[in-house]
Structure 1
Amino acid sequence: MVNLTKSEVSFSPNLNADTRTYLAEILGMKQVVNHQKYLGLPTVVGRQKKEVFGVLVEKVRKKIKHWKGKMLSVAAKEVLIKSVAQAQATYTMSVFQVPDGVIDELRKAISSFWWGQQKEERRITWKAWKKLCKPKEEGGLDFRDLKTFNLALLGKQIWNLLQNPTSLAARVLKAKYYPNSDVLQARVGYNPSFTWRSLMAAQTMVKEGLRWIIGDGRLTNIWQDRWLANAEEDGYKVTTPQCTIGGTSIVAELIDHESRMWKSNILQQHFNAVDRARIQGTPIPRQPAQDERIWSFEKNGKFSVRTAYRYWFKKNTEKEIHWEEVDVETEEQGIEVEAYDPMNWKRLWKLIIPPKVKIFLWKLAHNILPTGKNLESRKRDASPNCPFCGLEETQNHIFRECDWAVRIWKPTPLRNFFELDGTLSPGSWLCEIMEMVDDDTLGQLGVLLWFMWFERNNQCFNNHKAEEWEIAGKAYAYWEEYQNQNNQGPIQVEERSYTWKKPPEGWLKMNIDAAVMAGQGTGYGAVVRDERGNFRYAAIRRERAQWSPEIAEIRAIQFGLRLKEMYDLQQIVVETDCQPVFLSL
């Protein structure tokens, strides 16, 4: 039932006024120039896109203004940014490509909040936002790059059009924009809607992330499509120069459709050694089926925004992860000088210590704590001198070299770590310590460093100096209390029996397994025993193909089922030790 009092109708400006009025009277609805919003989204996006989407920026700024009045730790800020601020635009971004100018305003607002802006004052941006968006295990903080996230959300819509071609949205868009192809071959076209133009912005990302699973090979192009199972580094494509095989270029030409095997003579004749191995490692189903597209970065083959975002972000950022302290003199010119060091970031984030201490250690490793030297190098009106001894205050000085610091750590069991090579950068120093200690010791060290920094700030801003001998004791007590509250002790692992269990009376049991040997191919086998454990049948097979462990286990199960058919085994239990395969069956 349509509520006519709440309904409105709008028409194209190309329709004359009399016809508009006539149609509006028939429908019994109020005529409007355009509808403001539908389900929270703008129905018409004209040339003033920044104004239309500016509401997103205002929503985020309102949230941040409310948060600024509270005393928040850096850990609390991280949670609010990830769960609230960055989520404000998600709904809109799943339909429209938000203009770069709006995304830039969102980034600036969130970045200023993260770096400590209280009102409208300028704050030092100690690390480029793009680097903060890197995964935590790669030295970032896992904040979202909103432009990339926008494309990942739009990519989900393209995937839905591919998977549900009979849906109303898919049929309408196909009729207008790609009547003779699919959405992956579609073009922006003439006079497109803003919604369609937005979807097309994500088309390249989706195309690069999809690959074909071979059924009969008739839909897949040998040279242009992504279809090789073990060629991720080459985009799942063949590397052999293109040539003609059997008059066509489809994968079906490479398959013996009777034996359901690859034609080894054609592979030997037309492909290089690397491609031959990869093709032979690409499974062919026993029963012919249509080729199918899957998402390469999920085991279940279904598109996910998470993996699309990670893939596209990594592709569009520097491939090599670099870190160390920032050269603050060149930072002002927009240049960040870093050097590679194998910091175990994943281990740092898994430590059982307060989140604020983890973020403090992250800043320490990147040399972006606001010490006197760092502040002076940012051309701020700040003294470069240590508040305790008057010497130049670097991170190494305030934690390791200053007499004040030495009096804190010297009496502790952690003193050996502070006495390591003094020329090491803060990041390299932490990295070396991580190679030497267990998680508990590393956590104690992190908490002690945090307390030292806390007391240093107390001296700078409150002119309050704690007794050095108290600081280490407070740090250890704090660490111990946190352990008691958060560590449930060692996990009790249930002892399991891995002995063979007999099948029910009158039944047989088949155990299957597979092994993938680097450079040697794949081997798998099956053994059948009765309810008394007596041996009945067995078979093994070796393939030159280099499959993934999951594919190898699946082939082993198929091999076992063929053995069952060969010997006409009726009542039989098939057992595998590969849980991911078992759960997917």
Structure 2
Amino acid sequence: MSDPVEDLNLVSNLIDHDDKEWRQELIIEHFCENDVKRILAVPSSWRNQNDDLTWAFTNEGIYSVKTAYMLGQGINLKAVHEACLLKHRHPIEDATCPRCHQIYESARHSIFECTKVIDLCEKCGCAEMSNWERVKPGCDLVASWKNFHPKKQQYGATLAWCIWTERNQRVFENKSTSNDIIGARVKRLVEEYGNYNTHIYKQPTKNGKQSSSKWDFTGSVIFAATKRIRAYWSPEVAEAKAIDIAVRLGRKYGLEEVILESDCKNLVNRPSKGVTYLSDLDYVLDDILVTSTSFKSISWSHVKRDANSVAHHLGRLFPFGSQQVWENHYPTEIVPYVNMDILSLDQ
């Protein structure tokens, strides 16, 4: 964790308000590597937008119960343990365990000590996680799980949640589920969580390369631009930032009818929905759509990566921290790629 720094109390202290970008040298100097990546992964905006509360674990940035469930690390055993006797917590007449029907039920017995539960824990490889001989209080038992492998922690937490759910279904809905089905359910939920977690925390793009070129209908280059900064964006956000530069330059040069081409299909499809949400990608799309209101018409077109070679090669020409715009011409290094595009127009 980064140490507190005097005079750096607000996010606005980390932003260069002239070019609306992060003050990267300042951030790298005062923050640890992990915090630097997290900060530079957030795209900046040239507009003074209001802050919004967002949920990082959906594509739209909007909270959903489903994703909270997928990311749940376990259940609140403290509240369950404090209940002691479930008979006094729920309107039930019989206080014996609904599974074994042998003993007066408590939260401890229901989740860890019932003979049916012990058999299930053994089948799932989590028997040692319910060893009350080592740790007596329920909360301390759960805290002791930190000594196990993270994968086993997921199994234990998911198993406890499934056990508690199945218990409630027995009591309130008169439904019972076999241990084999519960075991298979636990395995499936843990696998789904792992896949979802991998998707959410996928490795971001380290380099923020933004480049674009604009042509008229005859194939003549009106302008070309490139900007290269250090960032940790997803590929979609990096592509959207390049388009943002392009539409702002298009407005500056008085363009009226615009066709935006991108090899990022997800980015091209998003504006067609007619709505933006709260994700990082939508944050940049809002900037693009605001600028696009200056044009008489604008359309989005998906092209293959080979058809976008001019922009990709243009983005590699300059080092980090540089920005360059060419009017009515372009660098000699990309002449072959421009000529290839012009020939394709002739066809």
Q: For this structure pair, what is the TM-score category when the shorter chain's length is used for normalisation? A: 0.3 to 0.5
Q: Say which structure is richer in helix.
A: 2
- Asked which structure has the greater CA Rg, the reply is 1
So what's the TM-score if we normalise by structure 1? 0.25
Q: Normalised by the size of structure 2, how large is the TM-score?
A: 0.40
Relative contact order, higher structure (CA 8 A, sep 6+): 2
